[in-house]
Chains A and B, each alone.
Chain A
Amino acid sequence: MNDVFDTEAFLRTSAEAAKEENFLIIVERLCKKIDVVKRVYCFYSKDILRKQTDKEIEGESYTLLLNLLTSLAKEFSDYKYLNSALKLNDILSEKGVLESSEGRSQIDKLEEIMKSIYDNKIGAEF
């Protein structure tokens, strides 16, 4: 299936995929799925604009996506990835993919990243 985007394969191999030119474009498109649709499906069209199945990715893949967004938020000091990670955390807590303690712990981690981004940016400005 070369003419579709395989979400789970992408997430499993994201460390390698990060070297590709279009990696962040793919991440941006997945952010939109979280923010707008609140679901991520297994297969999309090649440009990740249209879903090609009604099957959502598995809990393990959702967790990989959450970890990916969290690490990108930290690496790039990026509030947009942080915002999507916060929303995905809520979705996974509701779905039961994350237990409530895991969900809370993830929020604490994301809040630390949020404050760190802000403090570093303010420091840089002044």
Chain B
Amino acid sequence: MKKIKLTILYVDSVPSRIYLALLNKHGYEPEKILFLKFESKSSKYKLLKKCVGRSFANKIFQSVKEVRARLRKRKSSNTLTEKLLLKFGLLPTDIKPCSDVYANRIIEKLYIHSLDDSRLQHHIENSKEKTYLFTGGGILKERILSTPGTKFIHIHPGIVPEIKGADCFYWSWLLMGVAGYSVFYMNAGIDTGDVIYKKEFKPRFDGVESTCKPDQLYRAILQFYDPCLRILTFIELLNKYLENTPQDIEGFDFRTFNNVKQDPNAGRTYFFMHKVLRNFVLNKLTSVK
């Protein structure tokens, strides 16, 4: 296992779990996983916290959330999930919570209300870890992104600057015929950070039923397929570093990747696709042989 000086800014979700599953599968262990646990702001939670303590209150709220998620999941296609994951050598059982992938010694929990919470900012300002891999969960504000001496890496599902914004996996395919990914150091702009690496894939959905509902397919691709391509882009970057650089990756400072500044006014920012356009894209995507 190759240890890398990178902290995963982890919000428990399928995409985040996929990041960890594939990093682990390819032999990389992050220095730390900063497990961001979102506390509810509801009065019920506050009362529960007062009675049974934060940890137990969180467990109860988390359990309720998981039951609801499982009930929703029953309606979606497990076959579709399996087919999408199998394309990357993963099974649904590989998509596990972080504590089942890496040892607890590298996991640190931090309770926050949102990514805007001053507790997160305070933690990052005072932490000795200096490079974070963003895995989603909201928008990081400028005051966190500009913490001196600290960098945040993001893997965006579009080749920048041409394709920025939302639903970029689908915009990328529609406009360029590929799934394109850009790894960059985040700044306050929307997808305007200094670019470290880019890669394109030809997405293939053969074997994926085109008869499943478009909404289901849309969500499944974003939840299971796109995150795999994102982290594989990053893993390729790591592997290329290993091939080309005599310095051992375990000593490498992830703030010092060669990078190229973007012109923030170049390219275009796209927004969430309207259902009509989205369904059109899904139909075309699944009919490509």
Binding site for B on A (CB under 8 A): 28, 31-32, 35-36, 79-80, 82-84, 86-87, 90, 107, 110-111, 114-115, 118, 125
Contact = CB atoms under 8 A, between A and B. Distances in A.
Contacts of A82: 277
Given A79-B175, A125-B177, A111 B272 contact: no
Contacts of B270: 80, 83
Contacts of B174: 79
A93 to B, nearest CB: 13
Given A28-B268, A80-B268, A111 B276 contact: yes
B128 to A, nearest CB: 38
Nearest to B175: A79
14 contacts: A32-B271, A35-B271, A79-B174, A79-B277, A80-B268, A80-B270, A82-B277, A83-B270, A83-B271, A86-B274, A90-B274, A110-B276, A115-B280, A125-B177
Contacts, number: 36
A87 B274 contact: yes
Interface string B253-289: 0000000000000001111111011001000100000
A105 to B, nearest CB: 14
Contact of A114 (B171, B175, B271, B276): B276
A36 B171 CA distance: 17
B277 A83 contact: yes
A31 B268 CA distance: 12
Q: Chain A interface mostly helix, strand, loop or mixed?
A: helix
Nearest to B270: A80
Contact of B276 (A28, A32, A35, A86): A86
Contacts of A90: 274
Contacts of B280: 111, 114-115, 118
Given A83-B274, A111-B276, 13 more contacts: A28-B268, A32-B271, A36-B271, A79-B171, A83-B270, A83-B273, A83-B277, A87-B274, A114-B277, A115-B280, A118-B280, A118-B284, A125-B177
A65 B277 CA distance: 19
B180 to A, nearest CB: 16
Nearest to A110: B276
Contact of A35 (B171, B177, B272): B272
Most-contacted residue by chain B among A31, A35, A90, A107 (CB, 10 A) = A35
A111 to B, nearest CB: 6
Contacts of B284: 118
B277 A86 contact: yes
Nearest to A90: B274
Interface string B68-92: 0000000000000000000000000
Nearest to B271: A35
A36 B174 CA distance: 21
Contacts of B276: 86, 107, 110-111, 114
A109 to B, nearest CB: 12
A125 B171 CA distance: 17
Q: Which of A36, A79, A84 has the most C-beta atoms of chain B within 10 angstroms of its own C-beta?
A: A79
